[in-house]
Chains A and B, each alone.
Chain A
Amino acid sequence: MTGVSTTQAATAVEMAARVRAGESTAIELVAQALADIAARDGNLNSVTDVYEDRALDDARRVDRVIETGADPGPLAGVPFAVKNLFDVAGNRTRAGSVIELDRSPALTDAAAVRRLRDAGAVVVAATNMDEYAHGFTTENAHAGTTRNPHDLRRIAGGSSGGSAAAVAAGLVPLALGTDTNGSIRVPASLCGTFGLKPTFGRVSRAGTVLFVTSLDHVGPIARTAADLATAYDALACFDPEDPMSSDRPVEPCTPVLGHGTDGLRIAVAVGHFETVADDTAQDAVYRAGQALGVERDVLVDRSHQACAAASVITSAEAGQRHLVQLRARAADYDPAVRRGLLAGALLPAADYLAAQRLRAEYREVVRRIFEDVDVLLTATTPCSAPLIGQRTMDVGGEQLLVGMSLGLLAQPWALIGLPALSVPMTGRDGLPIGVQLVAAPYRETSLFRVAAALEEDGVSRASREMA
Chain B
Amino acid sequence: MPIFHALANPARFQKLARPLTPLCFWAGVALALFGCWAGLTRTPADYLQGETVRILYIHVPCAWLGMGGWSALALASIAYLVWRHPLAAVAARAIAAPGALFAGLCLVTGSIWGRPTWGTWWQWDGRLTSMLLLFFVYIAYIALSRADAERGGDGRIPALFGVAGTILLPVIRYSVIWWNTLHQGQSIGLTGSTIAPSMLWPLWFTLSGFSLFFAGLVLMRMRAMLARQKVEARMRRMAAV
Partners in one complex: no
